[in-house]
């Protein structure tokens, strides 16, 4: 059992500090809310009152409970009022010197057995603790914004933090209804160390004009199920805050270039484009602090250039090919499905019918629409039957030589002006384009699995792809109810280029014995709102698939931070490939 905290002090009443005050007061704990002067104290009162009033309007809190909550909070100016507190948590700006001065002052004010906690998200808890004469009583207690809603608290112990202090804080988190993960003092802890490398890389894609801001954000929301795109999330966090966190992580975390802030971030901070709080960041907002975006989407290729697509060819017989056939057939397009023989056509046809039958059972498709979709598909074992189609999508094995041979054969078979598309997720599209005499007509159309369910298609443009081909590909994607994002021909495109380095970083954390797979998964789900933790996702995707993608990214970019984690390579060598074989980072006996 942890210590009972009768009184808690919170220093700094901005959005985060006021949220922490609310968390304690909601759970029946008296809170002393402290600021530097009366003006700041009034802003803190307003922050707290605004939050609890919103909760009442939303039906999350009764008026009586709100009033009781507010009665538990005492507001005060100056640190001397904290002399009797059992625990003091600081939530002042993320500046090491400021926090060190504050902790030195708290050391002189607070009683000897009081615990001093910092809510820092990136600074060294150890460096903060040594400003006091009681470093063993100092701990990190990192809440996530908004603190009353987010379940995660990262409990950060230094090498000298007393065991009883850790136990007491873990018990307190449970009393507050929070899930704690206890970790060592390392730059970025868990969530920020994984999150900000990914956010920084997303900015680098934008800076290089690899893809538009809208397409980068849409790709990660639709392709990975994330609650927000990375650029919109940076606007919410604040670009100045993001810059400070990245800079601190870079300096404290071994100077990994993936954490070196992209120059565009510094330029935007210098220009005062800080995100929502300033009214403009990567997007423009209705007013400072508003979530309402007012600027329009970036221009894309005009659909007036798009060619008419009435008949589509799909080459392949696997899960992805079957899903793509279903997508086109359900959208009303005639489909010629080419496999390697009658037996393959039969199996693929049965898989298609099963999928459509399941849609009928779920109520997303009626029987007449199912029968109509099946009637639009013609099965073939030869690509000669693709002579009169308007678009060909290949979904054969992910082998460059196989795909190049197929594209060369399609070049001989298909009529002029046909768009030739590849669903590759990792191979260079330009290699397939130059296998034909019509590279301007070759494009990537990267569907995600399962194709009928996932609303994203990456439209991959090579340096030879024509504007008309891009316009046609994006128009087709919209016609089949998919959201197209246009990107350049680079390893991983958008989604995989951002996703797999993040997964690789998570493996490196476990490899370094910094945290466990369970705690890292909990941190990313509860702290960042991700639908799956990185290790859950790795077991679903397949560790061999992740390793192959990470190797491709590393070979193309030659960035040391992209080198595959040795632990990932070792698990693949041992045959621990994930859910499909029954064992990956976790055991899956139900397979």
Q: Is 515 a residue of the active site?
A: no
Neighbouring C-beta atoms of residue 112, cutoff 10 Å: 8
Integer Cα distance of 461 and 419 in angstroms: 12
Integer Cα distance of 320 and 436 in angstroms: 24
Residue 34, phi then psi, degrees to nearest 5: -120, 140
Containing 554, the helix (H) or strand (E) segment is: helix 543-557
Determine which one of 47, 51, 122, 192 is catalytic: 192
- Token pair belonging to 482: 């998919």
Instruction: Identify which of 222, 217, 269, 273 has the alpha carbon closest to the alpha carbon of residue 246.
Output: 269
Q: Is 192 a residue of the active site?
A: yes
Determine which one of 122, 142, 483, 491 is catalytic: 142
Integer Cα distance of 488 and 476 in angstroms: 18
Contact 391, 445 (CB under 8 A): no
Q: Is 142 a residue of the active site?
A: yes
- Token pair belonging to 79: 């640190």
Paired sense of beta strands 152-157 and 483-488, if any: unpaired
Residue 450, phi then psi, degrees to nearest 5: -80, 130
Determine which one of 22, 90, 154, 394 is catalytic: 154
Cα 14 → chain centroid: 26
Contact 11, 88 (CB under 8 A): yes
Integer Cα distance of 355 and 349 in angstroms: 10
Determine which one of 47, 51, 121, 466 is catalytic: 121
Integer Cα distance of 493 and 39 in angstroms: 49
Helix axes 543-557, 534-541, angle to 10 degrees: 100
Half-sphere exposure of 338 (CA within 13 A, CB side): 18
Sheet harboring 483-488: ordered strands across?
Answer: 377-380, 334-338, 311-315, 391-394, 419-422, 442-447, 456-461, 483-488
Catalytic residues, by residue number, are: 121, 142, 154, 192
């Amino acid at each position: 059992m942890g210590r009972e905290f009768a009184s808690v002090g919170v220093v700094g009443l901005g959005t985060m500090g006021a949220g922490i005050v609310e968390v304690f007061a909601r759970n029946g704990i008296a809170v002393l809310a402290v600021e530097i002067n009366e003006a700041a104290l009034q802003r803190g009162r307003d922050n707290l009152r605004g939050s609890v009033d919103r909760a009442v309007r939303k039906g999350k809190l009764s008026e009586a409970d709100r009033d009781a909550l507010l009665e538990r909070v005492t507001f005060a100016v100056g640190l001397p009022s904290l002399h009797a507190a059992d625990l003091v948590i600081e939530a002042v700006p993320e500046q090491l010197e400021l926090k060190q001065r504050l902790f030195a002052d708290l050391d002189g004010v607070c009683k000897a057995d009081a615990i001093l906690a910092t809510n820092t998200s990136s600074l060294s808890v150890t460096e903060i603790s040594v400003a006091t004469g009681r470093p063993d009583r100092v701990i990190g207690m990192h809440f996530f914004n908004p603190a009353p809603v987010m379940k995660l608290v990262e409990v950060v112990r230094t090498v000298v933090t007393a065991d009883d202090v850790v136990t007491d804080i873990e018990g307190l988190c449970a009393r507050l209804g929070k899930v704690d993960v206890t970790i060592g003092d390392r730059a970025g802890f868990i969530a920020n160390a994984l999150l900000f490398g990914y956010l920084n890389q997303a900015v680098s894609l934008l800076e290089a004009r690899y893809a538009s801001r809208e397409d980068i954000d849409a790709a990660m929301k639709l392709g990975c199920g994330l609650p927000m795109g990375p650029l919109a999330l940076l606007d919410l966090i604040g670009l100045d805050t993001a810059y400070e966190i990245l800079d601190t992580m870079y300096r404290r975390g071994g100077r990994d270039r993936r954490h070196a802030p992209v120059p565009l971030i510094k330029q935007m901070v210098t220009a005062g484009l800080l995100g929502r709080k300033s009214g403009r960041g990567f997007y423009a907002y209705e007013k400072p602090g508003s979530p309402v975006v007012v600027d329009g989407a970036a221009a894309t290729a005009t659909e007036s250039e798009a060619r008419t697509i009435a008949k589509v060819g799909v080459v392949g017989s696997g899960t992805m090919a079957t899903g793509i056939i279903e997508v086109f057939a359900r959208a009303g397009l005639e489909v010629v499905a080419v496999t390697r023989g009658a037996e393959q056509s039969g199996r693929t046809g049965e898989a298609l019918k099963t999928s459509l039958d399941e849609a009928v059972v779920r109520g997303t498709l009626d029987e007449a629409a199912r029968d109509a979709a099946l009637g639009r598909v013609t099965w073939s074992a030869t690509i000669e039957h693709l002579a009169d189609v308007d678009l060909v999508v290949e979904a054969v094995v992910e082998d460059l030589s196989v795909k190049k041979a197929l594209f060369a054969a399609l070049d001989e078979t298909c009529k002029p002006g046909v768009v030739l598309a590849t669903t590759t997720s990792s191979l260079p599209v330009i290699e397939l384009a130059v296998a034909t005499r019509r590279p301007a007509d070759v494009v990537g159309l990267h569907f995600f699995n399962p194709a009928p369910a996932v609303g994203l298609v990456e439209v991959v443009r090579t340096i030879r792809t024509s504007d008309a081909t891009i316009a046609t590909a994006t128009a087709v994607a919209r016609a089949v109810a998919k959201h197209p994002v246009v990107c350049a021909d680079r390893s991983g495109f958008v989604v995989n280029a951002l996703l797999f380095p993040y997964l690789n970083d998570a493996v490196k954390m476990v490899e370094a014995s910094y945290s466990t797979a369970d705690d890292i998964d909990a941190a990313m789900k509860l702290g960042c709102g991700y639908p799956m933790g990185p290790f859950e996702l790795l077991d679903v995707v397949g560790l061999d698939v992740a390793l192959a993608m990470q190797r491709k990214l590393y070979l193309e970019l030659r960035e040391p931070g992209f080198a595959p984690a040795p632990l990932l390579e070792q698990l693949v060598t041992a045959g621990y490939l994930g859910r499909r074989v029954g064992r990956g980072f976790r055991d899956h006996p139900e397979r």
